[in-house]
A and B are shown apart, each in its own frame.
Chain A
C-alpha cells in the first residue's frame, strides 16, 4: 500500500506560498505542484464547502461533493485560460457537481409546475396581523442556516444560488434548466417559507423562555 493516503494529520500543512498571487499559484498547479494545489484549496474551500452544505443540508454529502469539486478542478486546471475569474470557474464547477448529485438522487432540482399552480401552503398569506412575531433586528446566522436546511430541495437550491451565491436569474435558469420566471417565483416562495420558519422558531423560543 502506498503511503500517499496514510498521512492523517488533521491540520492542513502551513504553506510557504501565501505571498504568491493566485495567477502564479494556478500556473504552478498546472505543473502539478502539490503546494499550489493546497494553496488553491485553502483559499476556496470554505466557499465551496458552504455551497455544498447549503445545497444538500448534509455534512457527509457536502464533504464528498467538495472533494469531487476540487478533484474536477485539478483534473481540468490545465484548460483554465483565465477568461473568467478563477473563483467563478470553480464555483460553476461546484454547482454542476452538486446538481449532478441531486439529479442522481432523483431529487427535484426545480419543481417546474409549482410556480404557476401554487399550492395551498405556498399561496400568499392573508393573515397579516399584529400577532405575527416580527423579525426585528438582524437574523441570527445559525437560525437562518437551520431554516435553509429545512427548505424543500428545489427552493433551497434557488435561494442558495441567488441570495447566498449571487447568481442572476438568467444564470440560474440555464444552470437548473428552468425559465427565468420560474426561478424568480421559486425564490420568492423560498424567502416566504424561510420567513415562516424563522417566525416559528422565534415563537418557539419565546414560548420556551416564558415557560422557563
Chain B
C-alpha cells in the first residue's frame, strides 16, 4: 500500500486499523501524522455540538407565533408571595404583586365578558377598577431600577409597548363589543402586562 492508497482507504476505515494500513503507517511518518491530525479534527468536531447560542429574542418570536397560532394558552397567574420577598423590601413593595394580580383580574374579567350569551346583556367592557395605564407603572419601574438597573430600558420599552396594545385593543372592544378577536387581543395585552410584573418580581427574588 502506498500513500495514495492509504489515503483512499481512510474513507472506509478511518482509524488506519487494517493490517495493510498499519503496515504502511509503521514506515510512513507523513501518513501517520495525517491519521493523527484527522483524529484531532474528529475529536474537536464534537465540541461544536452545542457551541452557539441563539439570540435571546428568538424565543419571543417563537412564543408570539405560537400564540398567534393558538398553540399555547396564556400563562397561569403565579404571583410569588414568599416571606423572603416581604422581609427584604417591606410592605411598600407589595404594590407590584398587587398590580399584577389586579391586571390578571382585569384580564379575567374581560375574558368572562366574552362569553357569547352575555353579549346582549353586556354591550361593552368597562374596566372594573382602574385604567391599566395607571396601574403602578411607576412602582414597577422603581422596582426594576432598584434591582436590575441594566434592564430598565428594556422594561420601559416593553411597558410602553404593552400599554399601547391595551389602549388599541380597548378601543377596538369599545367600537365592537361583540368582536371576539378584539376581546382576545385585550386579554392577551393584559396578560402580557401581568407577565411583565411577574418578571420584575422573579428577577428581584434572591
User: Once bound together, how far apart are the Cα atoms of A6 and B9, in whole Å?
Assistant: 57
- Please indicate the chain A residues that have their CB under 8 angstroms from the CB of B7 in the complex: 124-125, 192
B60 CB within 8 Å of chain A? yes
Interface residues of B toward A: which range?
A: 35 or more
What is the bound-complex CA distance between A65 and B66, given in angstroms? 15
Query: Is there a chain A Cβ closer than 8 Å to B61's Cβ?
Result: yes
Main secondary structure of the interface of A (DSSP, over half): helix
Q: Which of A11, A66, A129, A185 contacts B54 (CB 8 A)?
A: A66
Interface readout for A114-129 with B: 1 if CB under 8 Å, 0 if not? 0000000000111011
Q: Is there an interface contact between B45 and A128, defined as CB atoms closer than 8 Å?
A: no
> Given the complex, which residues of A lie within 8 Å of B33, measured CB to CB?
128, 132, 134
- B165 with A67: CB separation less than 8 A: no
Instruction: Compute how far the CA of A141 lies from the CA of B48 in the bound complex, rounded to whole angstroms.
Output: 7
Could you say which of B82-90, B119-127, B185-193 contacts chain A?
A: B185-193
Contacts of B43 on A, CB cut-off 8 Å?
138-139
Chain B residue nearest in CB terms to A14 = B202
In whole angstroms, what is the CA distance A101 to B188 when docked?
33
CB within 8 Å for A10 and B4 given contacts A4-B64, A5-B64, A164-B49: no
As a 0/1 sequence over residues 49 to 71 of chain B, the CB contacts with chain A under 8 angstroms (1 = contact) are: 11111111111111111111101
Query: Which of chain B's residues have a CB closer than 8 A to the CB of A132?
Result: 30, 33
Majority SS at the chain B contact face: helix
Is B91 an interface position by the 8 A CB rule?
A: no
> Do the beta carbons of B41 and A195 come within 8 Å of each other?
yes
Asked whether any CB of chain A lies closer than 8 Å to the CB of B31, the reply is yes
**Chain A residues bordering chain B, tally (CB within 8 A):** 68
A2 within 8 A of B: yes
Instruction: Verify if A201 is at the interface (C-beta below 8 Å from B).
Output: no
Closest residue to A32 on the B side, CB-wise? B73
* Interface: B145 (CB within 8 A): no
Whether a CB of chain B sits under 8 angstroms from the CB of A98 is no
Distance of A14 Cα from B38 Cα, bound (Å): 41
Asked if B52 and A10 make an inter-chain contact with CB atoms under 8 angstroms apart, the answer reads no
Given contacts A34-B72, A124-B8, A159-B45, contact A7 B38 (CB under 8 A): no
With A34-B75, A163-B42 already in contact, the answer to whether A13 and B192 are too (CB < 8 A) is: no
Residues of chain B from 4 to 52 with CB closer than 8 A to chain A in the complex: 4, 7-8, 10-12, 14, 28, 30-31, 33-34, 37-38, 40-52
Judging by beta carbons under 8 Å apart, are A49 and B45 in contact?
Answer: no
With A3-B169, A32-B71, A165-B49 known, 15 other A-B pairs at CB within 8 A are: A2-B67, A3-B162, A3-B191, A4-B63, A4-B67, A37-B66, A38-B63, A46-B53, A71-B66, A144-B44, A159-B45, A163-B46, A191-B38, A191-B41, A198-B41
Nearest first, the 4 A-B pairs at minimum CB distance are A128-B30, A5-B64, A3-B165, A3-B189
Residues on A lying within 8 angstroms of B by beta carbon are 1-14, 16, 32-35, 37-38, 41-42, 45-47, 49-50, 53-54, 62-63, 66-67, 70-71, 74-75, 124-126, 128-129, 132, 134-135, 138-139, 141, 144-145, 148, 159-160, 163-166, 184-185, 187-189, 191-192, 194-195, 198
6 sample A-B contacts, Cβ–Cβ < 8 Å, listed by A number: A45-B53, A67-B58, A128-B31, A148-B48, A192-B38, A195-B38
Q: Which residues does B use to contact A, with CB under 8 Å?
A: 3-4, 7-8, 10-12, 14, 28, 30-31, 33-34, 37-38, 40-69, 71-75, 78, 151, 154-155, 157-158, 161-162, 165-166, 168-169, 184-185, 188-189, 191-193, 195-196, 199, 202-203
